[in-house]
Structure 1
Amino acid sequence: MQKTRFDELVEFPCVFTFKVMGLAVPSLPDNVVAVVQQHAPGDYSPQVKPSSKGNYHSVSIQIQVHSQSHIETLYQALAAIDEVRYVL
């Protein structure tokens, strides 16, 4: 079976949605946007949804990416935020 490379399936540049799961602190969305601005400057309006118990927040943000390595860089940078637990 032949492996297909991710960058052969996705046409760049494109808009990619990142979902960041983290502790329910008021600064989480701002921290996510601040990190994104370092790697993909733009105007962002993340959507925030609280977990059922309210301990965590899910921050969804759409970012224009230019390559597979750009996506990987964003995943790593977002995961490095202290309050973040997962990046999907």
Structure 2
Amino acid sequence: MPRAMVALSSDEKGKVLVDAEGEALGVVTGVEDGVAFVDLDPGVGETILAGLGHDEADADDVAVEADLVADVTETEVRLRGDI
């Protein structure tokens, strides 16, 4: 049975991107057309700003397509385990 794709929205901005084991990988700085942009090396200030929804995606951020995401919670965007 095909896996249902998670819909990513601007609500994910500021959430922590984690792998399937729960290891933090970075912070979502923005979402555009269902693609999350993630800062893999945020500083303390950037993390606080992102959590408040005030950080912006930049050229160093990594694009994460929705089909790579297993689940979204109030605080996390969790990647699938089979990638």
TM over 0.5: no
Higher-helix-fraction structure: 1
Q: Indicate the structure whose relative CO is greater, using CA pairs within 8 Å and at least 6 residues apart.
A: 1
Class of the TM-score when normalised by the shorter of the 2 chains: under 0.3
Question: Which structure is larger by alpha-carbon Rg, 1 or 2?
Answer: 1
TM-score normalised to the size of structure 2? 0.27
